[in-house]
Structure 1
Amino acid sequence: MEVQKIDALPDGKFASVTFDTEFPVNGDAQSILVPRFAVGINRIALSPVLWNSEGGGAIKLDGIYTQITKGDLLVLIFEGTKLVRRVASVVTTLDKDGDKVENAYSNVSLTDTLPQGWNGTRDVQVLFSFLPAATLYPLPLPAVPTSTLTTTGILATRTNTVPFTTTAPFVLVDADGQSLEATAEPIENDPNKVRLKADPTKLGSITELRFPITAYTNLSRATRGESIRNEILGNGNSAIPFQTFTLAKKPLTYLSDASGRRNTLEVFVNGRKWRQAPSFYGALPTDQIYVVSHTEEHDTIITFGDGELGMRVPTGVSNVVANYRFGVGGNVPANSITVLKRPIKGVRRIFNPLPATGGKAPRHPRSSAARPAGH
């Protein structure tokens, strides 16, 4: 049988294969083979015999092909008809006129006869040296319902040298690109397998996963935004109470945490990290703190103390420096993050198996900014 069409599935690893005839399912894995070479029949030999009524067949090829050996698979094509045969034997033949070699070719004997209509023709194409291009796996079920995934779960087998870590989160991705978070349970006496169960609280609208299902682990968490390192905010001046600085990029990225949300800002004065405070209320003159606020244009303002409510910024040149991330929103669907900003050695491909969550537009400054005392 032949492959008529191959369609890539959303997971980027599997494909849907359509054959010209019904595919026999016998419970075993099947291989798709592709030929490395396509050659013709020898056009110099006077009588290229392609058929023998007593059994077997002989093919004189258009050259010497040492790649062909006994037992190899050949595909012969003539006027759109394809035949599959095995090699019974192969001999290198030299046709000579005295000491002069006039023709050199591989004389291949086949294990099965060929049709009479092929006798004597030179218009036969021969494909050989087949390599496995893909493996077709029998699927026990077309899909598995989420009711099974959340209770008994499914078994996953390791396919690389990276060991399973059952404490790490897993993500299940099906043939349609649907994804679910899962946890792993070890299988006794088999370190190469785990039982995966989907999180019943995170099913959303998914009712089933279609095979093939791929389990991903050793995942990296990512946040929306671009990192800025060692941005010089300016010069400190101890003569200025409540001295302020403005970040060059906006909006400042906020992340979710146990307290609700936190921003990604770190501020250093003379190389020492100062602490971010919600306000100057109750601050001591020795407290190395700052307060963050935002304008209606989403600029980020950093305000230091006045010497009574928090320390003033020591005088210095370019001695106020910030690290932070900027950018918000970004609740993109699964499989939409596929491009790295810059190449990373050893990384061939990236994608997000789960949709991004938690992204929100910037809050209005009046509802999110902490205002410094006295301002």
Structure 2
Amino acid sequence: MATTHVLIVNETTFEVHLKYMFVGTGSSNDNVDFNNCSETKLHHTIENKLCGMIADFGRVRLGDNIIFYLQAQGGHEGKFYGVFKVKSTEVFLEAYSKSQYLLKDLEKNLTFRVEIEPDTVYAKGVTEWEALDCIRGLTSPNQMLWSLIYRKLKGNRGNTMITLYESERLIQLIRTANSRKTLRGNKFTFNCENQLIEPSSHKHSYTGETNNCINLLPRLIYKFRNRKAFEAHLQAYITQNIGKATNTSLDSSVIPTSNTIEWIGNEVSCGVGMQRIDICLSVFENVQKTIIPIELKAVGASLDNIRQLQRYVDWLEQYYLPNRPSDIQPTLITRKGDSFLTSSSPIWKDFLAFDTKNSTLCKPLSVIEYDLVNDNLHFTKVK
């Protein structure tokens, strides 16, 4: 299985993405001056916003699915088009400048990029109304595409992941709209007049720099040592590294033994309020699947963390499990204090109370603490 990422485009950028076979996001004219660097001149709100974008692309893996959402424009409804797949092994950085590759064509700054290639490409898109509002054939509200509905309610994100069952539904809607007919070839363009993806014989290919990978660790370590907030950096670090064997303590602490990651999500909306799961993983061993909601903290564990996880578990029970039956493994990742948490720690009784309350619904709470060891983050499972 693979994560499906929905990229927001307009008619101008969609044409460029199809011609040059890449996707990307960016923020105005903001530049990432903290890549491989411990310091930055950016205001912390801009820095955190960029870290959020890095986290969004950090979850992207080779072979993942890409669906485009073409925003409503010129009297045309917003539509979903696909399906493409990720060709890059890592997100790469295209620094903003007046000579940024394809800046003039795009008419906007796209800093974080990956290359893509055709998978199963269909000419017609599915309207936003058909995908998000129409309930024909649905028997329960939990079957709606909530990841995309929440995105609309809470403001646009340029790169939004959807769950595995949401992906299956959306791709089937696109397939049905096209009478199951796919396009042939490896080169495509977009016809703005009839709103169709069309095969093309153009000679364009992506020739920009693709080796400038993103490393937030020096900046994260600096903020860690100086006791500055770094949760946005931690989320980006984990989405970039989880399951890649680049930090074995992270993998062994979070991923159950003999399990394989099949889906990665971050900032997973779980309600019309501001509730979002920091990181969420779906893993499997043979036929057994487990969904892992993760609460991240740049400080030590607190009772409020447990309340957050309770919300996550309750939402997953009602909206996720009916569509994809799984075990739930709630997980808390916090900064290590003067010593590791133990059964004698004051908060331990709250951990056990959570386990007792949810003994039928989910697995016991997993608690992981991290610290700096030899200039790297080291994760230790303490419960």
User: TM-score, normalising length from structure 1?
Assistant: 0.19
* Larger gyration radius, structure 1 or structure 2: 1
Higher percent of residues as helix: 2
Higher percent of residues as strand: 1
Higher relative contact order (CA 8 A, sep 6+): 2
